[in-house]
Amino acid sequence: MILMNDIVREGHPTLRQRADEVTFPLTDDDRTLCDDLIGYLKNSHDPEIAAKYKLRPGVGLAAPQVNQSKRIFAIHITEEGGRPQSFVAINPKIVSHSVEKTYLASGEGCLSVDRDVPGYVPRYTRITIKAFDPDGNEFKKRLKGIASIVFQHELDHLNGVMFYDHINKNEPFQEIPGATPLERR
């Protein structure tokens, strides 16, 4: 299982690399990596396991964050309000997106960043994505709300981008033209 010690922190070079495409069929190691990424997210929302292993809660986790420079990430969102989402995305792409943008009113965090970095992170409100599942089957999804934001945050990790790269340095809380904030419960 992935523990906090397995998650590399900002400053680690892997977080600033473009991760490599994955080929199919997956090796046993890559399949285990997929299971471990989604497993971390599920564990991080289990009060007993999270307390026992001191896991920070997460709704997304990308392979580069555990020092595997591969185009794989997992998303596990169960909160009410939005549609639950739980999947592993391999070689993911955004195929289209809304013109309209959004941002988390509370800003974003990151399991690889041990500090608060305040500010609005502009994201597309709606995206259509395609990716492969661990069996090599291609799938498409239309995402909005928190799922759309999380997908974009994780895809950034595959491209060596950190959430705070998007924050306006001079005015972190400057209104983003044409953007509607997403309030998190």
For the annotated catalytic residues, the residue numbers are 154
Q: Are strands 123-124 and 179-182 parallel, antiparallel or unpaired?
A: unpaired
Question: Is 61 near Ni ion (CB under 5 A)?
Answer: no
Q: Among all residues, whose Cβ is closest to Ni ion? A: 110
30 near ligand K2U, judged by CB under 6 A? no
CA distance 91 to 23: 9
| Nearer of residues 37 and 110 to Ni ion, judged by Cβ | 110
Beta strands in 7-147 (DSSP E): 60-62, 72-77, 85-97, 101-104, 123-124, 126-132, 138-144
Structure token pair of residue 154: 């994780």
- Distance CA(173)–CA(120), nearest Å, equals 6
Q: How far is the CB of 44 from ligand K2U (least distance, A)?
A: 8
From the list Ni ion, ligand K2U, none, partner contacted by residue 19 (C-beta under 5 to 8 A by kind): none
Which option in ligand K2U, Ni ion, none does residue 57 bind, with CB closer than 5 to 8 A by kind? ligand K2U
User: Residue 121 gets which letter from DSSP?
Assistant: -
Identity of the residue, 60 or 134, whose beta carbon is nearer to ligand K2U in the bound complex: 60
Q: Of residues 2, 66, 110, 121, which one binds Ni ion by CB under 5 A?
A: 110
d(CA 97, CA 123): 10
Look up tokens 């989402």; give the residue.
Answer: 85
Q: Which two tokens stand for residue 64?
A: 């580069």
Residue closer to ligand K2U by CB (options 91, 112) is 112
Give the one residue of 50, 53, 94, 109 binding ligand K2U; rule: CB under 6 A: 109
Among the residue ranges 25-33, 81-89, 93-101, 148-156, the one whose residues contact ligand K2U (CB under 6 A): 148-156
Three-state DSSP at 115 gives coil
* CA 170 vs CA 76, 112, 131, 134: distances in Å: 33, 24, 36, 42
- For 27, the token pair is 């090796």
Total of chain residues touching Ni ion, rule CB under 5 A: 1
Residue 28 or 153 having the CB closest to ligand K2U: 153
Q: Which residues bind Ni ion (CB under 5 A)?
A: 110
Q: Which residues bind ligand K2U (CB under 6 A)?
A: 57-62, 104, 108-112, 149-150, 153-154, 157
